[in-house]
Chain A
């Protein structure tokens, strides 16, 4: 168990590689109760979220969700999150556990007294689970016995069960098919037991933070705190796809426009180790042609590819595909190559 954003969380249950492979080949369940949930509602909820978040929530129909970013005035990333539209005037935001307080403050700061927007923080009352892997649908069928429809990719539905209301979401952080759902915290233990039985029946296992990290990194998904921070913009992080520059003014937009016009000071590049090497890990120094050029943000041994993979912010001139860099591990330099994301492709 390790401390994580005020929670005690397991790094692994049976082993990172075993859990990782279960998710790639069968199914696994993650306890994501640490994650935060905000409810945003009111006549001006859409306008408020479009002013504070980078993606265009007006594009979401009720029942749809998308990945988006909350920025500070300098265009730095306060958090990355999923915004779901649950009805015309209601939204659910699922945010990182470590950023709940910072996010809340950022949203509150941007409310206007005359605007009809209500925000509620449901994080403390909500437990959540992510079922991920090719057998997720079977687990869902076992679990809900036809009482709820399977949430397709990037959709949300709200339903009621014996143990209270439930948000069912077609999202995840592994690159595999799957669903996530949130329930009242009082029922979390009984829910976890039920899910675990359904997951095990499909040859799956419970998964910890370790496998969550290796799975998301194989997909090139950024992790807040490693790859995202208030110091860098989503354009530098390679997340321009989730920034709707075409919509009206939003916080941080000015800096993003300037970066678009003038170029990026650095950008997040993906690399893989060449030959036999120790796994790259966060904060290891990175060199190019003998000069220190940065440090590893995310890094691990990819269980699917059996090779070290990672991400690092580099000047655009160095961050070109095929370029060679060096990762310094305990004073020794090991070669690595700049590659495309994702690292892992489903066969």
Chain B
């Protein structure tokens, strides 16, 4: 069974955001990393980029494929997880803890409520 932490909110494209933190970390779910397997490169976004919800932000490369990562909410990317440059596999080994991809300062908090709850995401991945 894949891990779906309670305090997070989810996009149908398998990104998570932690709205209890400000700025809010964003990553991909345990389910997504298990599907991708073996992440070998993360094309991190640029700090200071302003994105809108659903916009493609960066790319994660596994041996299998290159996967687009989308912004769960609108806002400014205020930090990126530089550790992924030297250790992209953190996304596999610690998808929620050390393997977040970037931190975003949400510009419209209401968007968080439109994201999936852990229950809804669990149902989504079946």
**In contact, B38 and A279 (Cβ under 8 angstroms):** no
- Asked whether, in the complex, the Cβ of B63 is within 8 Å of the Cβ of A279, the reply is yes
Q: Are B37 and A279 in contact (CB under 8 A)?
A: no
> Once bound together, how far apart are the Cα atoms of A277 and B59, in whole Å?
13
Do the beta carbons of A16 and B37 come within 8 Å of each other? yes
From A11, A12, A278, A303, give the contact of B41 (CB < 8 A).
A278
> Nearest-CB distance from B42 to chain A (Å)?
9
> Are A279 and B61 neighbours in the complex by a CB distance under 8 Å?
yes
Cα A303 to Cα B38 in complex, Å, equals 9
Q: Mark B55-75, 1 if CB is under 8 A from A, else 0.
A: 000010111101000000000
Instruction: Verify if B24 is at the interface (C-beta below 8 Å from A).
Output: no
CB distance from A12 to the nearest CB of B (A): 7
Chain A residues positioned under 8 Å from B38 (CB to CB)? 15-17, 303
Q: On chain A, which size bracket covers the interface?
A: 10 to 19
Bound-complex Cα distance A188 to B85 (A): 45
Residues 2-39 of B, flagged 1 when their CB comes within 8 A of A and 0 if not, give 00000000000000000000000000000000000110
A42 in the interface, Cβ–Cβ < 8 Å?
A: no
Q: Which residues of A contact B37 (CB under 8 A)?
A: 12, 15-18
In whole angstroms, what is the CA distance A294 to B85 when docked?
A: 28
Separation of A278 and B43 alpha carbons in the complex (Å): 8
Q: Contact check, B41 vs A210: say whether CB atoms are below 8 A apart.
A: no
Give CA–CA (A17, B61) in the complex, Å: 13
The verdict on B104 contacting chain A, using a C-beta distance below 8 Å, is no
Report yes or no: B63 in contact with A303, Cβ–Cβ below 8 A: yes
Check: A37 CB closer than 8 A to any chain B CB: no
Task: Flag if A330 contacts B43 (CB, 8 Å).
Answer: yes
Which residues on the B side are within 8 Å of A210 (C-beta)? 63-64
- Any chain B CB within 8 A of the CB of A214? yes
Does B51 have its Cβ within 8 Å of any Cβ on chain A?
no
Which residues of the partner chain A approach B90 to less than 8 Å between Cβ atoms? none
Ordered by A's residue number, 28 sampled pairs between the chains whose C-beta atoms are within 8 Å are A11-B64, A12-B37, A15-B37, A16-B62, A16-B63, A16-B64, A17-B63, A210-B63, A210-B64, A214-B63, A276-B41, A276-B85, A278-B41, A278-B43, A278-B59, A279-B40, A279-B63, A281-B66, A300-B63, A301-B40, A301-B41, A301-B61, A301-B63, A303-B38, A303-B63, A306-B40, A330-B43, A330-B59
